Structure 1
Amino acid sequence: MQLTPLSQQDVWARVSLSAEDIYLFGTMITGFWLIGAGLALTYRRIKKRNGLFKPPQVITMNCFRDILQKGGSAVDAAIAALLCTSIINPQCAGIGGGVIFTVMDSSGKVKIINSRETVPRNVNSDLLKLCRKTTEQTTECKWIGVPGEIRGYEAAHRLYGKLPWADLFQPTIKLAREGFPIPYYQANNECFSFISLSLSFRKLYLDKNGNLLKTGDTVKFEKLADTLEMIANEGPDVFYNGTIAKNLISDIQDAGGKLTLEDLALYQANVTDAWNISLEEYRMYFPPPPAGGAILSLILNIMKGYKMNSEPKTTDEKILFYHRYIEALKFANGLKKHIRDPNFSSDKNLTEDSFANHIRSLISSDKTHDPQYYGKNSYLDSIGTTHVSVLAEDGSAVSVTSSINDEFGSNVLSSSTGIILNNHLNDFCGSFSFPLSPNRVLSCYSRSLLYFSGERPPSNMAPSVLKSPSKTLVIGGSGAEMIPPAVASALMNHLWFGKSLKEAIITPVVLVDSKSEVKPEPKLEKDVVDGLEAKGHKIAKFYNTVNAVEKAGNCISAWSDERKKGKAAGY
C-alpha cells in the first residue's frame, strides 16, 4: 500500500516483529519505519491517540516506541528491535548468536557489519565427521561458535548510534524482568518440545509440576535481565572480557563445550564495504561471503537474463517461469559450497554477469536433472533467524538479520547468564572450497577438516538495501536457507512484474531444499505444480517469511509477511 507524503505534523512508522501478533501505539514519531521479519503488516493510518490496540504482544512494541520517542537513529531502533525479539522469540535469535547489518547512512554510503559467530581455537578437529547426522545431533555444545551479537551491536552503535548505549537495553530489561504471556504461536510450536528434553530450560518454561507452560502463562528471563543490565551499564567488554565472559565460559565448558576466555577476548566484528550489483534502476547492496548475498545476487542475475518485464499470465508461461527459477535455485544451492569467510578464501565470480550467463546456458527449458548436475549439496537445513528492516526520515536505512541457527540454537542455556547459545558451527556441514570458474562449476571435493580458528561459517543471511536516484528499498528475510529464494521472489515480483510490496511478498514462493526437493507454497496453482512435476521436479512443502520497506520520493510503502499473521503498528 502506498501512503501519503510524510510531513512534520503527520509522520508515522510501521513496526512488525517476529511474533504472531503485534500492537498499535497512539504516539506520533518522526519519520521511522521498522519492519520485523516473520510478521505481516496491514496498514492503517494512526492519528494521535493515547490508547493501545491490544492483541497478545503490546509489550513488544514498547521496546521500539521508547527508542524512537527519545530520538534514536535507525541503528538504535534496529538494535532495540533485535534485543526485544530475542526475548519474545528466543528460539530464533539472541545475544548468544550472531548478526549481520547492512547500513546505508543519510549520504547513501553503505557498510556491512558482520558479527557472525567464529570457530573456537580448540574446536574438535573431527567435528565435521558428524555432519551427516540429524539436526538433533547438531544441537549440542560441540557446535557452539564464539558469539558475536554484542560486538556487532557495539560496532553499529559506534558508527551510527545517537542515543546512549544503555538506553537501547532498557525496554528489553524491563520486559525480561516483568515477564510476558507466552504467545500462542510459541506454545503450540513443535520446537517447544525441545525444552522438555533440556534441563537448562526447565526453570524458564516448565511450571513447578514439571509441565510445559501453556499459552498465556507468564515467562520471565530474570537471569538474562541481569546480564543485559550489566552489558548496558558496563559496556560490551563485560561480555567478552569481564564477569559475563567468565560465567558464560564456565557454563559452556561444564556442558562439554570448547569455548575459552581467549576465544571471547579475541572476537572482533568485521566492518567492510558492501558488495553490489545492478538491478534495473537500482544498485543492490548486500553483505559479501560468508553471508548469502552473493547467492541472492546470483539467482537474480540468472533470472535477469530472461528479460522478463511482465508477470507470466498463462499456465504454460507460469510453468516455464517457475521451472527456470527452480533451476536457478538448484544451481545456487550447488554453489553454496563456495561461500566462505573472505579472510580465509574469497571469490567474487558469483556476482558477475558472465558467471550468471554461463549458469543460464546450462538450464534446459523442458526438463530438470539429477542433483549431481548442479553440484553436490549436503548442507543441513536450519530455520532459526529473525530480520528487521528500518528506513528513517533522513534517508538512512538498516537491513539486519540475526540468528542462533536452529530453534533454540545448541539447546544449551547458560544457567548463570540466561544466554541461549548458538549451534552455528554446523553451518560448515556440506561446505567445500576451491576457486570458481565457469569450467569448474560442477566440480567438488570435501571440505572436511578445512575450517580455521576465527573463521565465520557460511550463511544464507542476505540483509539488503537497494538504492536508485529516487527510491530506497530495504529488504530481508528469515528462515535460513529459505531467505535467498524468498527475497529473490519478492524482488522479481516487485521490480520486474510491477507488483506492490504487499503483492510481491504474498506471491507464492518456491524453495529448493538440500535434497533438491521443490517446495511450493500451497497457494501455487495446482496446474503449475503438475506442470513442474511433469518436467521431473520432486515436490514437497515449506514455509518462510520476508519483509520490506520502500521509499519513493516522499512516499513510503511497506509490507511484512502475513505468513506469521501479524498486525500493523503505527506511530
Structure 2
Amino acid sequence: MKNYFCKEHLTALLFLLTVGFSCQPEEKATGLLAENAMVVSAHPLTSKVGKDILQQGGNAIDAAVAVQMALAVVYPQAGNIGGGGFMVIREADGQYHSLDYREKAPLAASRDMYLDDKGDALPEKSQNGHLASGVPGSVDGMVKVHEKLGSMDWSKLIDPAIKLAEEGFELSEDEAAYFTRASENLKKYSSVDPVQFTGKAWKVGDIFIQTQLSHTLKLIRDKGRAGFYSGEVADYIVAEMERGGGIISLEDLEKYESTWRNPLTGNYKDYTIITMGPPSSGGLILLQMLGIMEKYQVSNQGQAYADYLHLKTEMERRIFADRAAFMADADFYPVPVDELLAEEYLSQRFSNFDPQSATPSDLIREGNILSMSEETTHFSIVDKKGNAVSCTTTLNGGMGSKVMVAGAGFLLNNEMDDFSIKPGFPNMFGVLGGEANKIEPEKRMLSSMTPTIMEKNNELFMVVGTPGGSTIPTSVFQAVVNVIEFDMGMQEAINEKRFHSQWKPDQISFEKDFEREDVLETLRKKGHELSERNGIGRVDAILVLEDGILEGGADPRGMDAASGY
C-alpha cells in the first residue's frame, strides 16, 4: 500500500516536527531585572518605599531603615518596632559589618520564670502575653546603623512609614483574612482592646489606618532613640507591662543597646560567605553545612537528588544537635565558633554518615569539641554603588506576644520563648534548647536568623535571607545550593520546593505539591519518615548576574515583591 503526501501534508508534518513535537526545555522563572538597584521584601509597599529612597539618592542602609519602619506598618505580623533582628552589610569597597539588634531578657528575668512549682514548663507564658516579651531592639538598631553608615536625613527615612500609618493602605484578601483571624488573640492578650485591629471583620479593599502608630513613628522621627526608649512611648510600654503582669521596666528600655559584631565569614569553593554570628545560630549552621557538603558531588537530576536530600538531612540532624548544646549569646556563653567550623571537627562529626541509611536522631548527640515566626521577615537591598544589606527582623511568632501597646499602637515580641525555658524542652518551632541558652537578665536569646551576603572572586554575588524559625538556615542553604550547584537563577532557586530537618522531631518536612514521587520513595527506603507541610520560608534575595544586572527573587509563598530601577 502506497502512502501519498501532498505538499500541504508535508508542510504540516514539518511544522509539527519542528514546533509541535519538539522537546524544548521549560522556560525558567526569572525574577525582576534591574540595572542599578534592587529591593526585595515581604510586601510590595515596603519594596517600593525602599526603591524610592534609593532613587532619591539614599544608599542601601538608608533604604533598609525605611523598609524596616514601613514593615512595622503594613506587615505587623512580623515587621516591627517592638521586636528586633540582625543586619549584615557589605560596603561597595568590600568592608563588612553586622549589627545585632536582637531583643534582651529584662532585668527581672530569671532562669526558671516559665516553670511551675513542680518544675514543669509553662510554654503558654513564654509564647503569649506580657511575660513573653524581651526588650525591643529595632529602633535602637535603626538609629545605630543610620548614624554609622546612613547618608540621608533621618526624618526622610521615617516619613514613608508615617504616611502609610496615617493614610492607611488597602488590604488584600489574605491580609484581611489574617487580621480578622488574629483579632481574637489580640483582644485576649492585650490589656486594652486594640480597636484599630479588632473593630471590624476586615475584607479585601478595606483601608487600614493606624493613628496611634503614626504618632509613635513621629516621635521616633523627631527624637530618634529617645522617641521610643524614654518619654511618652516608654511610659506606654511600662504601663502596658504593669496592667498585664509583664516585667519590662523603664530601666530596661533606657539600658538597651544594639551591638556591632564581627560578621561570621567562611568560604565555599570560589565563594565567600558573610553572615551573622551568635546570638544567631543561623550563620554557624549555614557554614557548617557548606563545610561538610564541599567534599561531596551533588545533583538535582534523577535519583541523585534523593541522595543530596539524604545528605542534607544527615547534616541537619548533627548540626541542630550542636545548636542545642553549644550555641547561645556569646556575651554570656563561650560559643566555640572556630572549633565548630574546623575541618577536622566537621569530618569527625560526619564520620558515621551512611549514604544508604538514615541515622536515627536518638543516636545523635552533640559532637566532641576538639579544642575546648515562622513569622519573621527578611529583606535584601543592593544600591547603585554596590552597597548591600541583608536584614532579618522578627517578633518571633505571628503578631508576637499578641500584646498591643495601648496608646502607642505597636505589637510586642514573644522572643523569650527562644530561650531554653527548660533544658531539653522544645520551643514553639520544635527546637530543643540546652544550658547554654538558659534565661539570664540582659542576655540575648538564641536565634536561627541567617541574613547572608556572598561574594564570588571578591565581587558581590548574592544577598539572601528568609523568615521561618528553625527552617531559616536550611532554606538559605537550599537557595545557595540551587544557584551554585544546580545552575539556577535567583527566582528559579526560590521557587524550588524545600525540605527541612532539624534533629528532632525525627522526620523530613517537605512542601506539598512536590511532584517527584520517585525521590520521596528513595528517601523512605533510606529510612526517613516524611511529613508534608505548607510553605517553608519566604526567601527574598538578589543575584548579581554575569553582566552586572541584578535579579531580584521574591518568594511566591507570600506577598513578597521585588522593586528596582
TM category (shorter chain) comes to 0.7 to 0.9
Match of 1:358 among 326, 332, 348: 348
Match of 2:211 among 222, 226, 236: 222
- More deviation in 505-514 or 446-455? 446-455
Match of 1:562 among 533, 556, 561: 556
> Structure 1 residue 128: deviation in Å?
4.2
Match of 1:502 among 482, 491, 500: 491
2:13 alignment counterpart: none
Match of 1:111 among 97, 121, 128: 97
The one-letter code matched in structure 2 to 1:156 is: V
Question: CA deviation digits over 1:225-250, x for unaligned, max 9?
Answer: 10110010111123123332122112
2:398 alignment counterpart: 407
Whole-Å Cα distance in 2 between the matches of residues 262 and 276 of structure 1?
A: 35
Match of 1:319 among 303, 306, 310: 306
Structure 1 gap ranges (5+) = 5-11, 15-29, 40-56, 377-381, 434-443
Matches within 5 A, 1:36-435: 36=41, 38=42, 59-60=45-46, 62-129=48-115, 132-133=121-122, 138-189=127-178, 191=182, 194-195=185-186, 197-198=188-189, 200=192, 202-207=194-199, 211-291=200-280, 292-308=282-298, 311-315=299-303, 317-337=304-324, 338-345=326-333, 346-348=335-337, 349-375=339-365, 382-429=373-420
1:550 alignment counterpart: 543
The DSSP-based 3-state class of the residue aligned with 1:465 is strand
Structure 2 gap ranges (5+) = 1-27, 367-372, 425-431
User: Between Structure 1 and Structure 2, whose CA radius of gyration is higher?
Assistant: 2
Whether 2:468 is the aligned partner of 1:475: answer: no
The one-letter code matched in structure 2 to 1:557 is: E
Question: CA deviation digits over 1:239-275, x for unaligned, max 9?
Answer: 1233321221121222110011111111111102111
Q: 1:566 to 1:35 in 2, by over 3 A?
A: closer
> Structure 1 residue 220: deviation in Å?
1.4
The one-letter code matched in structure 2 to 1:333 is: F
1:459 alignment counterpart: 447
The one-letter code matched in structure 1 to 2:550 is: I
Whole-Å Cα distance in 1 between the matches of residues 437 and 39 of structure 2?
A: 41
Whole-Å Cα distance in 1 between the matches of residues 306 and 513 of structure 2?
A: 14
The DSSP-based 3-state class of the residue aligned with 1:127 is coil
> Structure 1 residue 523: deviation in Å?
3.9
Q: 1:509 to 1:358 in 2, by over 3 A?
A: same
TM-score by length of 1: 0.83
Whole-Å Cα distance in 2 between the matches of residues 330 and 415 of structure 1?
A: 43
Q: 1:263 to 1:195 in 2, by over 3 A?
A: closer
Q: Is the 8 A contact 2:329 2:437 kept in 1?
A: no
TM-score by length of 2: 0.84
The one-letter code matched in structure 2 to 1:539 is: L
Identity of aligned residues (%): 25
Q: 1:498 to 1:92 in 2, by over 3 A?
A: same
- The two structures, once aligned, show a CA RMSD in angstroms of 2.7
The one-letter code matched in structure 1 to 2:343 is: D
The one-letter code matched in structure 1 to 2:197 is: Y
1:35 alignment counterpart: 40
> Structure 1 residue 188: deviation in Å?
2.7
Whole-Å Cα distance in 2 between the matches of residues 165 and 115 of structure 1?
A: 18
- More deviation in 252-261 or 298-307? 298-307
The one-letter code matched in structure 2 to 1:410 is: S
The one-letter code matched in structure 2 to 1:403 is: T
> Structure 1 residue 304: deviation in Å?
1.8
1:51 alignment counterpart: none
> Structure 1 residue 497: deviation in Å?
2.0
The one-letter code matched in structure 2 to 1:115 is: Y
The one-letter code matched in structure 2 to 1:108 is: G
